[in-house]
Amino acid sequence: MQKPHPIVAREGYSFIVLGLIISAGVTWFLGIGWALPFWLVTLFIIQFFRDPRRVCPEGPDRVISPADGRIVAVEMTHDPYLDRKAIRVSVFMNVFNVHSNRSPVAGTVLQRWYFRGSFVNAALDKASEQNERNALHIRTAEGQDVTCVQIAGLIARRILCYVDMGSQMEPGERYGFIRFGSRVDVYLPPEAQVSITIGECVKGGQDELARLPH
C-alpha cells in the first residue's frame, strides 16, 4: 500500500526556506566562494527532511518498522507503559536517515503518554527510560497490543506526534517526526515472531520487524 507523502517532509519547509534565503544572500553579496558552506548546510537540511513514499506489505499480523535506521535492540523485557512482559525492538536513526515516523500496525490508539527527559545518545539502552519520549498504545482489530515509543536523541530537541487517543491508524501511516537523530522502540507481545536481528538496517513503512500471534 503506497502512502501519498510529499518528497520533502513539511516539518522541514521553514528550515529549507531559511537555508535557501541565507545561501542566496551570501552568494549575492559575497560570492559563491563564501556561500559554498551555506549551500552545503542547506543540502544537508534538504536530505534530512526527505520523506520518500514507501510500499507497506499487507497482512494483519505484520509489524512494520516505524522508522528508518539500524536495529540496536531485540530483547525480552518489561513494557513500562502497559506493565507487561514484552519483546522490545529498537530502531536507531542517525542524522542521515529519514526521520518520519510511521505506524507499525493497523489499529486504534488507546492511550498516549509524553515524558520530558534528558538527551543521552539514543543508541544507548538507557535512552528508553531517561530521554524525552512520546509513547502510543495501539490495539489491533485482532486484539493485540503494541506500544510504539518516539525517543529524542543526543541532539534531537523536538518530538512531533499528530495522533491521540481514539485515532485510527493504518500500517505505514505517517504519524510523527523527530528532528536530528533519535530512536523508536516497539514493544510487542511475548509470542510475537521477530523477523530481524540486531545490526540490520530497516526502512520505515516498508520492512517487516515481526509477526503478531494469531
Other Cβ atoms within 10 Å of 76 Cβ, number: 9
Alpha-carbon separation of residue 25 from 16, 29, 32, 40 (angstroms): 14, 6, 10, 14
The single residue of 65, 167, 182, 195 carrying the catalytic annotation is 182
Identify whether 167 is a catalytic site residue: no
> Which residue shows C-alpha cell 490495539?
139
Annotated active-site positions, please? 182
